[in-house]
Structure 1
């Protein structure tokens, strides 16, 4: 009797277990999109409501441009078939230097054959080739590159322009899904997402460095791998508007790496924008709330990475009896790398701690290193600041491993509570100039507005100027991608930010991209002309209004009247000086009060006039000369506004006066015996002052401030220079040199030690080809002008042809060119023999349909805000302004 209940219970249990087994056996595991996305993906975009994102993309032309680069994506976003579907897009590498897209969406497979005709993608049934791979049919487009292919896995449609990627999905599905993005980044799928956004983006942070390697040259890949120690994953909501794209979410780090250094740091405010020059392409900013803890965590990271290169700095400081602890205590809460232009130009900004002493440990280290090497202590006064040198290799890269790049040496200057540091003293001077002239992010309305919309407190920040960054990347990209980035309006990204802020156990992620409208490569032309009655005898000279900061112009007519004109060539005042201006007008701040005056010379006098046309007291000042003035220059040794005036006589003698016009000892005159090629110039190289004067016969004179000839000079170039002489200032005297070229194309480079560095012959197009060296209006770069009987060419510093045009038969040509902040050049070729001027952009395209009639060398100005080029052209007594909107 007792067995009956037991048997009944056992029977019921068997029935239930059997039913469950039968149910599970007969049920299919439903495949989801995430079951088909490999961990090889760098990022995955999830678009839950395709209709909404499609509308917003229509409002943001830049995204339409990106999508049109892929026929697959362009077809999907323009197809009504997908507009009611949830769509996933994953990005994966396909080769060493390329990547591809996989697109996933759910569908009703029974309707697929009916929908294929109206999907809007570039194929039809008749153009498809079918094959089976791992038991699933692949459909491939026939006879077209890139080859579109798709497959249906249960109810998931997977599409790609790469059969390799599609086959990878099928292999993943057939092998049990053991390398899924979802499984490797499981923590991301526990994070909340917004339902009201435009989509979500999942980032495989661990794959980022490999993905970046697709675009870079090998040496840049190495630098990226050494410095980008990021691991884990990120999830962010996507918000798209008509001018920007915002990503907000979280990043979770899975291993010890760069982010480990900030796990115990609080987000910090960003207040260095007033020191970041507008020339900066990209700034990486690090916020450190507890430097002592940061250095402890750095020591742990150094052990993990086996970075033995950081040991030498500590050992050197101990040897010099400089306190390592004091150095670390001087570190404040912010460190910034500022990347400029092309190459490896970097300026660093360090905020000092509040208890950093006035005579800082940086000064102490600088002094003791100089003593150890038995060198004189490098100090240079510039614009009221003192620049010093830490003569130690990789100082910052060891101190802030792995945040700072390597360097041969470190110059530094203190501005308030900040240190500005760089391998190049010239870059530091440039930053000082930009701070003094308020040409910084903090004084830029556009940058201030952008920064105010970003996180105000954070730990890791990357801010970038999209156009300048395209320039910065040029020498770092491989050949496949350089052409795309070569366009300065790449993606029309104006500004961008990537920010990570420590939040409990992970990082809050904020990314924003602000886009600028597409600009035509050539826009409308505007022209205005004014007549002045008498012939204009000088090229228009651009000066700056110290009140409005706008440009103005100075010209002189044949009656010796000087005019100050507004930027739209309206007369502000006219002043008769009873003589002709020689070698143009310069601008000075005579009273060192921010108010600017005009400096110029006539045949035997120095003139200084204020912006209202009135002479400064004591001027004009006659010079005691034996010959007429041929050239004049203003010298400001350390930008202290204690001016010197350098005058070159017609027969080559040099006169140097003080600020009030008194001739200085050793320069009254400095006799050089020979007519000069161009104006004698002052240069400062690593804190030392040099005066360079080159005769037309090729004798080079290099003198110090007292007029004494430097060792190795005068030197004979054994050729007659043509055009100007250019200087390249390196990070040492040995890497600094001058460049000249002869008429027949012999290029010579020589150092400040009087030694020839290099000689080479530029390529001629004809036996009678003539060359000259021409510097930009800012004298920062130079090119070569080559005149042949049939062609006129502009060559780069290596002699490669940049632009070549037909020569209408003239032998007298002049060249002027300017560069904008993107290093784009605008050239004017002036036919002095036939009085015509021709204008070209950086790609060699004509800017004007017809040449201008010109009787003086025209003047060029590029307005960065309006993106317009202004040409000021003289034709006898008329002055014209031609504006080209770009």
Structure 2
């Protein structure tokens, strides 16, 4: 009897559970499937019609690439559905949610009503026509369909009359969990947002979950602390600028504040601003004051300057005790501790603070140089408002707001490359403004397109435009006619140009491929007239000053199965009977100026790859030829290719940097200075003995070491390069490094030496002296720089796209 009773109750319980589950599923709404952890949600009714209206409302250039991408996806989806896409989406609701699924990834989840969709037809179409493999699996008593064709993968679940699709199966599992637990749904947690008045005929509704979104912007968390936890927006278009507007949810942390009367503080922002935000605050004396926080790019390095701006008021809320630091610029060090609590409230907690005071504002920073750079921009009138696009954008912003956030989106996203996508790349500026209305924030988000953006080059004294993008450092030599500078450049379509001292074209010629070597000047005929000689990966070229190629040139690569990697020119005793040394993989060649292979070098086969072409030097009437290999072996040979006594020398580790030849008056005091890949410097005598070795400070196992040799070969400089730091002689500098940066070193004597770091992607060059003080203002430039100095004036030869320019800077 007891056993029967137990069975009865089990049957009743299971029946009730099945009924409840079925009843729950039949009462599902589309928002019951949207996870609470979504960072952004887009809700669109009749999405295809709205997209067509959106596309026709913008001008041709706005979000061009983004619209092409969406149109392509729509076309592919329509083809997949056998031209039935309009049937699915007409008068239907689509919700697209974005979720962070790992430290580096965001994924999309699409949810829509499936009542118009024959899912069995979709399965058959995917399997038969599109060759998808379809598998099913159960998760929390629901069936998940996984589609894969070897390249593409996406998961699908159908719950009641709704279908959810994502390329990340974890999000489909989230949908199922959310459908079974309302505490996991975005709408349930943010119910207040759905009680607001929503515009019916806009392009759609967007919900932003700022509390979740802040986890993806760790360097700017202070911005999200200014924002409500979540906000809904209506999407609209006004005068080619897009704006989102709507209300936030009611927050316990909400604090009504005084509104900013105008946007005057935005008018003093420098033109290299990245982020700015301002609001009205209250101090301990209950005095109101406007405060802004500014981040702007340095003109002298690739760091970002940070400044707090206080608007001065009649009640003098900030009492500062000043100790003059710079009489000219009026920068003072703050010694009054009362300012620190105010700054901590702004999440700007620093011990050493400096202040610059002007008529309306106080500018405070923990870095003296940040204020110096702001003052420089101010004195030069380099304000952001002078940019036409920004000026137009500024004019559409609301006044009388409680909080403003302004973002130079293109520069901002450089801090977060993983977030970059087709849409974000086309956004130029973005603003977020909050105004309190009935204990809630009315939030407006504006953004515009940068499709019409163009690059600007420095104002220069001289310039020349090649036909194509320039890919070579400008090579400078002095003319034998008038001793004035001449320039050789190379473009991406393999044209070589010879320019005079005014950057006027003398001649141009087409070569087989790009120049891979240094450009040498020789006196081929021994008549005190100069010719230029260089190599591509296949040939060695030599031209006279009128652009005529010399007899016997170009000389073909003596290693027919490989490529030329480097060349050097050798003139043993200044007799003008030149030899050309060539390296190709592990082979060294020596040819005369007529292209004939020389005995002992036809080729000289080494055991590992050669770092640079064999290099010649002469000491006390004796000729030496230096060869260094990647495996750390260093050879010193005579003219016939035989080793000198004591060589080769085997260093402890592999090498990849050029060896510096330090010649003295005699054999004993002359050295070869080598740097291995682990940061050990070796001083090797010409007798093959290692005199000493030094370990450069190695900050991490990924430290990268650079041996930088001055173009005149008179000195060298060593750097240790990490991801975020450059180190030299017990001095460090914060600098965001990239392995593809170009590093150069110039030494003009009398302590005038400096390093140049060029970022070819962002097309900027930065200059620092050996103490890491900035030498010149940041330069728009994409290849290595060439520099001349005469009478205290530096002439910098720079390249930007297809333009070579000369910038003159007084010492």
TM superposition score normalised by structure 1: 0.49
Q: Does 1:148 align with 2:154?
A: yes
Shift of 1:339: 4.3
Aligned partner (choices 324, 338, 361) of residue 319 of structure 2: 361
Identify if the C-alpha distance between structure 1 residues 43 and 226 changes in structure 2 by more than 3 Å, giving closer, same or farther.
closer
Aligned partner (choices 377, 396, 411) of residue 434 of structure 1: 377
**How does 1:328-367 map onto structure 2 within 5 Å?**
329=287, 332-340=289-297, 343=303, 345-356=305-316, 361-362=319-320, 365-366=321-322
**Contact 2:435 2:443 (8 Å CA) reproduced:** yes
Identify if the C-alpha distance between structure 1 residues 74 and 234 changes in structure 2 by more than 3 Å, giving closer, same or farther.
farther
- Partner residue, 1:195: 200
- Partner residue, 1:537: 484
Identify if the C-alpha distance between structure 1 residues 70 and 41 changes in structure 2 by more than 3 Å, giving closer, same or farther.
farther
Identify if the C-alpha distance between structure 1 residues 142 and 819 changes in structure 2 by more than 3 Å, giving closer, same or farther.
closer
- Partner residue, 1:611: none
Provide Cα deviations, 1:545-583, integer angstroms capped at 9, x if missing partner: xxxxxxxxxx998xxxxx999xxxxxxxxxxxxxxxxxx
Specify the SS of the correspondent of 1:361: coil
**How does 1:113-512 map onto structure 2 within 5 Å?**
113-114=120-121, 124=130, 126-142=132-148, 144=150, 147-175=153-181, 177-210=182-215, 212=216, 216=218, 220=219, 224=221, 228=225, 230-239=227-236, 244-256=241-253, 259-260=254-255, 263-286=256-279, 288=280, 291=281, 294-295=282-283, 325=285, 329=287, 332-340=289-297, 343=303, 345-356=305-316, 361-362=319-320, 365-366=321-322, 377-382=323-328, 385-391=329-335, 398-471=341-414, 473=415, 477=416, 482=417, 491-512=425-446
Q: Does 1:51 align with 2:48?
A: yes
Provide Cα deviations, 1:580-629, integer angstroms capped at 9, x if missing partner: xxxxxxxxxxxxxxxxxxxxxxxxxxxxxxxxxxxxxxxxxxxxxxxxxx
Aligned partner (choices 32, 35, 49) of residue 35 of structure 1: 32
Distance 1:515 1:498 in 2: 16
Specify the SS of the correspondent of 2:184: coil
**How does 1:638-649 map onto structure 2 within 5 Å?**
none
Shift of 1:519: 7.4
Provide Cα deviations, 1:166-203, integer angstroms capped at 9, x if missing partner: 1121122234x332211211111111111221110122
Shift of 1:127: 2.2
**Contact 1:199 1:237 (8 Å CA) reproduced:** yes
**How does 1:474-873 map onto structure 2 within 5 Å?**
477=416, 482=417, 491-517=425-451, 525-526=466-467, 535=482, 537=484, 762-763=705-706, 772=716, 802-803=741-742, 824-825=763-764, 859-860=796-797, 870-872=803-805
Shift of 1:247: 0.9
Distance 1:564 1:171 in 2: 69
Specify the SS of the correspondent of 2:397: coil
Provide Cα deviations, 1:792-834, integer angstroms capped at 9, x if missing partner: xxxx9989663499xxxxxxxx999797999533699xxxxxx
Identify if the C-alpha distance between structure 1 residues 340 and 564 changes in structure 2 by more than 3 Å, giving closer, same or farther.
closer
Q: Which runs of 5+ in 2 are unaligned?
A: 1-18, 458-464, 469-478, 488-498, 505-659, 663-671, 681-694, 699-703, 720-724, 729-734, 745-752, 768-778, 787-792
Specify the SS of the correspondent of 1:166: helix
Shift of 1:126: 4.8
Identify if the C-alpha distance between structure 1 residues 280 and 819 changes in structure 2 by more than 3 Å, giving closer, same or farther.
farther
Distance 1:797 1:133 in 2: 45
- Partner residue, 2:473: none
Distance 1:439 1:721 in 2: 46
Distance 1:29 1:464 in 2: 45
**Contact 1:72 1:148 (8 Å CA) reproduced:** no
Provide Cα deviations, 1:648-705, integer angstroms capped at 9, x if missing partner: xxxxxxxxxxxxxxxxxxxxxxxxxxxxxxxxxxxxxxxxxxxxxxxxxxxxxxxxxx
Identify if the C-alpha distance between structure 1 residues 109 and 346 changes in structure 2 by more than 3 Å, giving closer, same or farther.
same
Identify if the C-alpha distance between structure 1 residues 225 and 429 changes in structure 2 by more than 3 Å, giving closer, same or farther.
closer
Distance 1:821 1:252 in 2: 45
Shift of 1:489: 10
**Contact 1:827 1:841 (8 Å CA) reproduced:** no
Q: What is the Cα-based RMSD across aligned positions, in Å? A: 5.6
Provide Cα deviations, 1:700-720, integer angstroms capped at 9, x if missing partner: xxxxxxxxxxxxxxxxxxxx9
Specify the SS of the correspondent of 2:257: coil
Distance 2:272 2:409 in 1: 12
Provide Cα deviations, 1:225-251, integer angstroms capped at 9, x if missing partner: 797265542110112589643211112
Distance 1:37 1:277 in 2: 42
Specify the SS of the correspondent of 1:467: helix
**Contact 1:46 1:88 (8 Å CA) reproduced:** yes
Q: Which runs of 5+ in 1 are unaligned?
A: 1-21, 297-324, 367-376, 541-554, 558-562, 566-719, 723-741, 749-756, 776-780, 785-795, 806-813, 829-839, 875-886
Specify the SS of the correspondent of 1:389: strand
Aligned partner (choices 108, 112, 118) of residue 111 of structure 1: 118
Aligned length: 525
Shift of 1:156: 0.7
Identify if the C-alpha distance between structure 1 residues 68 and 208 changes in structure 2 by more than 3 Å, giving closer, same or farther.
same
Specify the SS of the correspondent of 2:372: helix
Shift of 1:111: 2.5
TM superposition score normalised by structure 2: 0.53
Provide Cα deviations, 1:629-663, integer angstroms capped at 9, x if missing partner: xxxxxxxxxxxxxxxxxxxxxxxxxxxxxxxxxxx
Q: Does 1:87 align with 2:94?
A: yes
Shift of 1:498: 1.2
- Partner residue, 1:626: none
Shift of 1:265: 2.1
Distance 1:843 1:103 in 2: 42
